[in-house]
Amino acid sequence: MTPAEQFHPDSEPVAEAADTQRRRPGPETEAIVRFDGVTKSFTTGKGRTKRDVTAVDDVTLDIRRGEIFGVIGYSGAGKSTLVRLINGLEPVTSGVVEVDGRRVDGRTENQLAPIRRDIGMIFQQFNLFTSRSVAGNVEYPLKQAGWSAADRRARVKELLEFVGLSERAGNYPEQLSGGQKQRVGIARALAANPKILLADESTSALDPETTQEVLALLRRANREFGITVVLITHEMDVVRSIADRVAVMDSGRVVEMGPTAQIFSAGQSPTTRRFVSTVVHAEPDAEELAHLRARHDGRLVVMEIREGVDVGTVLSRAAAERGVGFRIVFGGVSVLQEQSFGSLTVELLGEPQAVEDTIARLAEATTVKEVSA
């Protein structure tokens, strides 16, 4: 089988994987990337300004084969350094990094070469060769890998069809929009049939509509070709759109990790909650609370909504049995990975003791916070 035949959009594996009801890799799925107690430190400055900086601090995590794994953090959190440790672009200071069962740490450039052939990478600033056409950029890694001219032509044709740029094959990067450049970057990264695709802030330079187009391509690559995608970003909306699981980084450490729906609905760390608040505005801020208090005389409570929580029954019974009236005055509920999450701010009206008992019953079902008495 030729290299081009190994990855053909009309082959049987692609047809099977094209099912949109893709099963997310679960805990039983083997790890394709493994970090065990990994630390990466740098020395910066000279003389009196010289200091050691720990960019990645004792990180242990597994990335499952076939999943889309997000790594999110603010600038300086260590996420880009983390992804560069996967393909050995940065050497580890201590700990173990494995890719598909092979150690990455402590390897020479020659030893890293076969590991890197299984890893594609796309970048924030596209990193295209300005002197090469679109087809030439996609073809470049195939030349480096020793593909024949015929196989290269077939592969480039397949990939440009996949990213929707067949008519742009002869164009040069300066003739393309940002979104088109990133699609070329994706095609190039997929060229040599990688098992892993590293996307480092790959949508940060794009507008929202183009971002969704690029994310859709990454999702297709994952679903149709079984490629593991590691997505580095500072945008929680990107994680929500595409990731199966997510690790939240802060000051070099992974402060929280889990399924994306769990992180959104029940994130524990302050860093996680700050990120979630940027895309899920379900709880009123101070100004909004002031408006609510001015317009509503009843007691206002914020209830956390998540999968399996039934506050409706509690409120209905309170209304029927105790005469407690309720009105939803603020909030929002989203669905992610088939799980609901969010919060609702409710005004409760009625006899003081009946309202008090209702709040107590709500607190038995979910997290409740009173925002006015």
**Listed ranges 1-10, 19-28, 138-147; the one with the highest mean pLDDT:** 138-147
Residue 14 has pLDDT above 60, yes or no: no
Examine the domain organization and report whether 61 and 205 are in the same domain: yes
- Read off the pLDDT band of 275 (50, 70, 90): confident
Handedness of CA 360, 364, 366, 367 (dihedral sign): positive
- Read off the pLDDT band of 372 (50, 70, 90): low
pLDDT digits (tens, 9 = 90+) for 19-58: 345 567 777 789 999 999 999 998 888 888 888 899 999 9
Examine the domain organization and report whether 235 and 299 are in the same domain: no
The DSSP symbol for 55 reads E
Among 5-14, 122-131, 140-149, 268-277, the minimum mean pLDDT is found in 5-14
Comparing 156 with 308, the larger pLDDT belongs to: 156
For the chain, percent of residues with pLDDT exceeding 90: 55
Angle at which helices 149-162 and 134-144 cross, to 10° = 130
pLDDT digits (tens, 9 = 90+) for 306-365: 777 888 899 999 999 999 999 999 887 777 766 777 788 999 999 999 999 999 999 998
Examine the domain organization and report whether 81 and 122 are in the same domain: yes
Handedness of CA 155, 161, 163, 167 (dihedral sign): positive
What is residue 324's predicted lDDT score, i.e. its pLDDT? 93
Residue 212 has pLDDT above 70, yes or no: yes
Average pLDDT of the residues in 169-178: 92
Residue 172 has pLDDT above 90, yes or no: yes
Domain membership of residue 138 (yes or no) is: yes
What is residue 1's predicted lDDT score, i.e. its pLDDT? 43
Examine the domain organization and report whether 354 and 249 are in the same domain: no
Examine the domain organization and report whether 298 and 271 are in the same domain: no
Residue 332's domain is classified under what CATH number?
3.30.70.260
Average pLDDT of the residues in 146-152: 92
Average pLDDT of the residues in 183-189: 93
* Count: domains in the chain: 2
Q: Are 155 and 147 in contact (CB under 8 A)?
A: yes
Average pLDDT of the residues in 283-302: 86
Give the residue from 277, 310, 341 where a domain finishes. Answer: 277
Comparing 123 with 170, the larger pLDDT belongs to: 170
What is residue 11's predicted lDDT score, i.e. its pLDDT? 36
Q: Are 96 and 132 in contact (CB under 8 A)?
A: no
Examine the domain organization and report whether 162 and 221 are in the same domain: yes
Examine the domain organization and report whether 19 and 89 are in the same domain: yes
Domain membership of residue 229 (yes or no) is: yes
Examine the domain organization and report whether 266 and 318 are in the same domain: no
Structural domain including 252 reads 12-277
Average pLDDT of the residues in 115-123: 91
Domain membership of residue 5 (yes or no) is: no
Domain membership of residue 355 (yes or no) is: yes
Residue 226 has pLDDT above 80, yes or no: yes
Query: What average pLDDT does the chain have?
Result: 86
Instruction: Encode 66-90: b = buried (16+ Cβ within 10 Å), e = exposed.
Output: bbbbbbbbeeebbbbbbbbbbbbeb
Residues 6+ apart with CB under 8 A from 234: 72, 73, 74, 75, 79, 201, 204
pLDDT digits (tens, 9 = 90+) for 45-100: 888 888 889 999 999 999 999 999 999 999 889 999 999 999 999 999 999 999 99
Q: What's the pTM?
A: 0.77
Q: Which two tokens stand for residue 210?
A: 């183009």
The C-alpha atoms of residue 331 and residue 329 are separated, in whole angstroms, by 7
- Read off the pLDDT band of 144 (50, 70, 90): confident
Examine the domain organization and report whether 298 and 269 are in the same domain: no
